[in-house]
Amino acid sequence: MQELSLKYGCNPNQKPSRIFMTEGELPIRVLNGKPGYINFLDAFNAWQLVRELKEATGWCAAASFKHVSPAGAALGYPLTQTDKAMYFVEAEGALSPIACAYARARGADRLCSYGDWAALSDICDADTAHLLAVEVSDGVIAPGYTEEALNILKTKRKGNYNVVEIDPDYVPKPLEQRDVFGITFEQGHNDLKITREMLSNIVTENKNLPDKAALDMVVALITLKYTQSNSVCYVKNGQTIGVGAGQQSRIHCTRLAGNKADNWFLRQHPKVLGLQFVEGIRRPDRDNAIDIYISDEYEDILADGVWQQSFKSKPEPLTPAEKKNWIAQNRGVTVGSDAFFPFGDNVERARKSGVEFIAQPGGSIRDDHVIATANKYNMVMSFTGIRLFHH
């Protein structure tokens, strides 16, 4: 198949719409549903991300994409009991590695993952299909599906869930093109390989980079490679915990991603894990209730006549002091940036979310100030020398 017609483009008025190959066959098969233009943009970006994560780390990987940027990406580390509780994984016993990867990718930022497109580096199995089946999701791309997994996915969304299989051996042409305003742009495909060797230029006084942190740096940088710029990514234990995408100012990226990382950590607070929800509450409503409860607008969800819609009993507030004290306990976080930090304020903000390791290109005229700020907090910072803009 060289061409696949789509319902419409980014918006319903943008017709006709299709994906096609000028030479050869499309490297995908639609096994169920009818994906759209934005679906395929998410699918192809997400697939590249998880494929590269597996190649670079040896771990299977998953991503949860929304609007051409990852809401979350993760390696298939086993889930802890806390992970299962905060990600609402109800399965008993151990899950397969690829299912763990998706649970962690989806759970990184459940609010932003609502209606996501999932990508899997490995064959989708029944464990992963069961996780996808209960989430609000638009579709999934993977190199294959077990028969049981495919049968499960075909029951989702009244049989219309989008399931795409991609040829894992497909290699794109070295030059890529796209039209903007009727004008054709051309550039080399970004085939940069991100490896541990990129992290060798450690510019801080503290040069102790543990293997675990180095792996988190690789996860951050590969995630940034497929995140709309400007972008900053916080990572812990092989998964993103906060992605700030498409901001005009880098400090705003750092704050946005840091706030998401703080929310990820707050969802592990005993008060949050102990929330008692009403029977039959929908998963998105539960996610929204938690998001408001841990926010500065918590009084909105705890108001009389409102809390009863979500909770069996009125929860005690999670006070600003409790939140601040809890977030201060977070440690061992890595942050990556797709371009240099121009000022030390980015380091200052990252520190507040538990960051101890930084990977960024370097090259600012204020590198000395950024390095001094990192040294003040005994951080480890690597200059990669590589920019990772993506548009």
Q: What is the pLDDT of residue 91?
A: 81
Q: Flag whether pLDDT at 92 surpasses 90.
A: no
How large is the average pLDDT for residues 128-157?
97
Tell which residue, 65, 152, 165, 163, has the closest CA to residue 115: 65
How large is the average pLDDT for residues 382-387?
97
- Whether the CB-CB separation of 225 and 390 falls below 8 Å is answered with yes
Helix spans in 122-191 (H)? 126-133, 147-153
Question: For residue range 259-281, what is the model confidence (pLDDT) as tens digits?
Answer: 999 999 999 999 999 999 999 99
CA–CA dist 6, 106 (Å, integer): 27
- Whether the CB-CB separation of 220 and 233 falls below 8 Å is answered with yes
Question: For residue range 22-68, what is the model confidence (pLDDT) as tens digits?
Answer: 989 999 999 999 999 999 999 999 999 999 999 999 999 999 999 99
Question: For residue range 199-244, what is the model confidence (pLDDT) as tens digits?
Answer: 999 999 999 999 999 999 999 999 999 999 999 999 999 999 999 9
Q: Flag whether pLDDT at 133 surpasses 90.
A: yes
Q: Flag whether pLDDT at 93 surpasses 90.
A: no
Helix (H) or strand (E) holding 358: strand 355-360
Q: What is the pLDDT of residue 1?
A: 75
CA–CA dist 357, 352 (Å, integer): 13
Tokens of 24: 């050869």
Q: Is the dihedral of CA 292, 298, 299, 301 positive or negative?
A: positive
Tell which residue, 172, 175, 127, has the closest CA to residue 152: 127
Query: How many Cα atoms occupy the beta-carbon half-sphere of 203 within 13 Å?
Result: 20
Question: For residue range 4-18, what is the model confidence (pLDDT) as tens digits?
Answer: 999 999 999 999 999
Residue 93's region, left for phi above 0, alpha for psi from -120 to 50, else beta, is left
Tell which residue, 140, 107, 102, 334, has the closest CA to residue 233: 334
Q: Flag whether pLDDT at 117 surpasses 80.
A: yes
Query: How many Cα atoms occupy the beta-carbon half-sphere of 160 within 13 Å?
Result: 7
How many other CB atoms sit within 10 Å of the CB of residue 115?
14
Tell which residue, 306, 298, 304, 300, has the closest CA to residue 278: 306
- Whether the CB-CB separation of 243 and 70 falls below 8 Å is answered with yes
Please, what's the b/e burial string for 169-204 (b: 16 or more CB within 10 A of its CB; e: otherwise)?
eeeeeeeeeeeeeeeeeeeeeeeeebeeebbeeebb
Q: To the nearest whole number, what is the mean pLDDT of the chain?
A: 96
Query: Cα dihedral angle (53, 57, 62, 68), rounded to 10 degrees?
Result: -20
Q: At 82, phi and psi to the nearest 5? A: -65, -40
Query: Which residues are known to be catalytic?
Result: 66-67, 230, 391
Pairing outcome for strands 162-166 and 28-32: antiparallel
Residue 384 makes CB contacts below 8 A (sequence gap 6+) with 198, 199, 201, 221, 359, 360, 361, 362
